[in-house]
Amino acid sequence: MVLCSVWVATPAAAEHTADEQITDSTAYTLRDGEARVGLWKVEYGLLDRLDLGTYTWPWLAKIASLSGKYEWYRSESWSVANKLSVLRLDLQDWSEESEPAVFQVVPVEMGVSYRFNESWTLSVEGIYTNVSAEGSYNEDDLNGAAAVTNFQWTSTVEWRWTETLAVLLHLRSLAFQGTSGSGSSVTMPDAYTTVEVYGEAQSDVLDVEGASSATLILHWAWSTFNLRVGLGYGNWSLPGVNFVLPEKTYIPEFDLFWRW
């Protein structure tokens, strides 16, 4: 009898509705006054359709960050939003042996989401990431990633399998990669090529040909707790800063957070 009483008292799982949407890689925002706290992000719905937040993991790596997202159009089927983030990275905060370089990373995003019905949603994003560098660096300081300005496309197909489980296919493609900022950077697109760039030059030499990735994700959403688990393959784009790794590899997806 006691066990039965406890089971009945357990809160019911939250149903995915038009008012309870996934906000990662979509145009959707948190509800007014709603908070999200998890491994990767802390966000708050300051106003209806306006979120302010920060990336959690960059602070652990001594990368300061702040972001804002505004869903400026919403209808029964369509949503359109813009997001602006600012991140600052000093390589010598990571290691005194690193080159003296300071990066300011400013991703500007525009997302469009279309909800076909209660089960299917398609989201497309364009992400322009401006990287300003002061000083010089070698890609070894960033595990082979090129800290350069780039533009990426993403698309996410979402299928609501059950009231608590959504299956997502997330695709990402690098459209352009160049350099900007003062100082110099030394990059290695491959093991045999070294490119040294000065000043605010733009260079197509830094493009990683065919850089793309595909990730299959399972997203569970209960009354407040959310869990994302997935696996992909391709060129990993480092979350937040959007630096693209030149080598294709398996890409794990894992996040857990609370929304209330």
Measure the CA–CA gap between 217 and 168, rounded to whole angstroms: 5
Q: Mind giving me the DSSP string for 94-147?
A: H-TTS-SEEEEEEEEEEEEEEE-SSSEEEEEEEEEEEEEEEE--BGGGGTT-B-
Q: 163-200 pLDDT, tens per residue?
A: 999 999 999 999 988 765 444 444 444 444 433 443 44
Tokens describing residue 71: 């869903």
C-alpha dihedral sign at 154, 130, 133, 178? positive
Beta-bridge partner residues of 202: none
- pLDDT value at residue 191: 45
The pair phi, psi for residue 115, each rounded to 5°, is: -100, 105
Domains of the chain, CATH where assigned: 15-259 (2.40.160.40)
CB 227 within 8 A of CB 220: yes
Tokens describing residue 192: 């045999």
CB 243 within 8 A of CB 145: yes
CB 26 within 8 A of CB 51: no
The one-letter amino acid code at 188 reads: M
Beta-bridge partner residues of 73: 80
Measure the CA–CA gap between 40 and 49, rounded to whole angstroms: 21
Q: 36-50 pLDDT, tens per residue?
A: 999 999 999 999 899
**Residue 27 in 3-state DSSP?**
coil
Q: 103-115 pLDDT, tens per residue?
A: 889 999 999 999 9
**Residue with the two structure tokens 């290695």:** 188
Tokens describing residue 96: 């005194």
pTM: 0.81
How many Cβ atoms are within 10 Å of 87's Cβ, its own excluded?
22
Q: 213-240 pLDDT, tens per residue?
A: 999 999 999 999 999 999 999 999 988 8
